[in-house]
Amino acid sequence: MFDLTGKRVFVTGAATGIGKAIAETLSATGALVFAADIDRQAGVAVVNNLREQGLAAEFVELDVSDEGTCTRVAEGILAEHKGLDILVNNAGVGHVGTILQTTAADLDRLFAVNVRGMFSLTKAFLPAMIEQNRGVVINMASIGGVVAISDRLAYCTTKFAVVGFTKCLALDHAKQGIRAVAVCPGRVETDFVKKRLAEYPDPEKAYQEMSSTQAVGRMATSEEIASAVLYLASDEASFVTGTAFEIDGGFSGI
């Protein structure tokens, strides 16, 4: 089950956190993974580690907010590898604040990465997927794309947009062999989250508060999210499309 042997997979934000775990998990099941990230040093390290294990991976330096670069990267991969099977739009940025603590520039920055980035890459790769009559687009949303989270106005706004984008994509192209799913994690204990928690006056208290918003009493690991992505990318999920796939530990932190 969940065998991706021979599949061509493109993962954004693959240098760290959830994206790194996705690249590692999908590569371990036989896929050729294009690990894309704006951080060249960290991304190359991820790819080198996979190759040392005998797995197939290539690093792609990419700023997803640059539409022209997204198009050129997609054209290069499609020309060399004759198609793409799975696109994982994982790259994203966050912001803390209510509307009164959010500037238009903050909102534009989040939209540029969280929404327009996946729009640009999906638009670049989709025609080739349609031509081969198969393809999976997995978009990283958030539980904050399904319910409101306090002090996260800009972030939730973009993640709700991701869910809507995914549902429309799925509906428009289902008969052309395309599946699209939005993954909606609860809070995930990534290195980024750990660094942010360390900045709080009482990091341990902040950690416990973030953990307690999940009914299970803890945050997820990146690997748990990657396992869900593996299922959704696989043929075993062939009847799953147009949904917001919640993997949130029973999130209740509105």
C-alpha torsion sign, points 147, 151, 155, 161:
positive
Backbone phi and psi for residue 77, each to the nearest 5 degrees, phi listed first: -65, -40
User: Kind and range of the H or E element at 25?
Assistant: helix 17-28
Residues 6+ apart with CB under 8 A from 70: 62, 64, 117, 120, 121, 124
Instruction: Give the active site residues.
Output: 155
Residues 6+ apart with CB under 8 A from 171: 242
Backbone phi and psi for residue 252, each to the nearest 5 degrees, phi listed first: -140, 30
